[in-house]
Amino acid sequence: MVQLIGAERWAAMRSLMEGGLPTHQRVADCGGVYVKTLSRRAGQEGWKTLDFRHKRVIAAHGQMIALAASLRAGEEIDRVDVPDPEAPAGPDLDAELDRLDALPPAQRIARIGAMLTRRTSALLLRAEAGLPIEGRQVTALGGLVQLSERIATLAREEVRQEEARSEEELREALDLIDRRILHLAIRETRRLLLTRFGVSAREIDEVLPALEPF
C-alpha cells in the first residue's frame, strides 16, 4: 500500500537534498519518526553518523555544499585528478627512464627535469587544494629525491663531455627542486598541526619557517 507523504516530510527531504545539515532531527523528519527513536536505533546498530557539535565538521560540510553549488552553476574549479604524485616510485616511470638512456645527456637532463617538475607540481597542487598527503605519498617524495640524484649524475656527465653547463647552474636547479620538496613538507606539517592537532597558527609560526613563494 502506497503511503502518502506529508508536506513536513517533503520539506525536510528538500532541505536535506539542498545542503541542509543531516542532523538527527532532520533525518528523523524525513523518515517520519521521533528523533529519540532515530538516535536510539543509530546507537544500537553503530551507525557512522556525523557530529555537528564541532565547528570544523559544520565548516567542512559547508565547503562541500558551496563546491557543489559552484559546479551546478558551471564554474570551473580545480580538479582532484591532478597528475599522480606517486608515479616516481612506480615501475612505469622506471621504464620511461630506461628509454631515455638512448638520448644524448643534454636531452636526458631536460626530459627528467620536466618529469620532476610535473610530479612536484602535482604534489603542490594537492596541498593547495587541501588534499592530505598520505603515508603512501611520502614514498613518492623518496622517488623525487632519487630522480634528483639521477639528474645530478647525468649533469656531471654532460659537463665532463661537452663542458656546456656550469656547476653553478646545476646547483641552482637542484636547489630549486629541494626547496619545492621542503615547501611541500612544511605546508603539509602546518596543515596537520593546525587541523588535526589543534595547534594555533601563532605557535606554528614560532617553530616552522615561513613558506617561500615560487
180 or 155, higher pLDDT: 180
Q: Where are the domains of the chain?
A: 7-72, 87-207
CB atoms within 10 A of CB 160: 9
Q: What pLDDT does 203 receive?
A: 84
pLDDT tens-digit readout, 105-133: 667 667 776 777 776 777 677 666 666 66
Radius of gyration of the chain (CA): 26
Phi-psi region of 131 (alpha: psi -120 to 50; beta: other; left: phi over 0): beta
Residue 172 pLDDT more than 60?
yes
Q: What pLDDT does 60 receive?
A: 81
pLDDT tens-digit readout, 39-92: 999 899 998 888 888 888 888 888 788 877 777 776 655 444 444 444 444 445
pTM of the model: 0.34
Confidence label for 17 from pLDDT (cuts 50, 70 and 90)? confident
Confidence label for 97 from pLDDT (cuts 50, 70 and 90)? low
Given a contact cutoff of 8 angstroms between Cβ atoms, the answer to whether 211 and 180 are in contact is: no
Q: What is the DSSP string of 19-87?
A: T----HHHHHHHHTS-HHHHHHHHHHHT-----TTSHHHHHHHHHHHHHHHHHHTT-----S----TTG
Measured between alpha carbons, how far is 138 from 87 in angstroms, rounded to an integer? 12
Measured between alpha carbons, how far is 32 from 108 in angstroms, rounded to an integer? 67
Q: What pLDDT does 141 receive?
A: 57
Given a contact cutoff of 8 angstroms between Cβ atoms, the answer to whether 49 and 35 are in contact is: no
DSSP 46: T
Q: What pLDDT does 86 receive?
A: 45
Q: What pLDDT does 88 receive?
A: 42
Largest interatomic CA distance in the chain? 87
Measured between alpha carbons, how far is 83 from 109 in angstroms, rounded to an integer? 21
Q: What percent of the chain has pLDDT over 70?
A: 60
Task: Compute the mean pLDDT over every residue in the chain, rounded to the nearest whole number.
Answer: 74
Measured between alpha carbons, how far is 176 from 127 in angstroms, rounded to an integer? 18
Q: What pLDDT does 75 receive?
A: 61
Which of 166, 212, 164, 167 minimizes the C-alpha distance to 185?
212
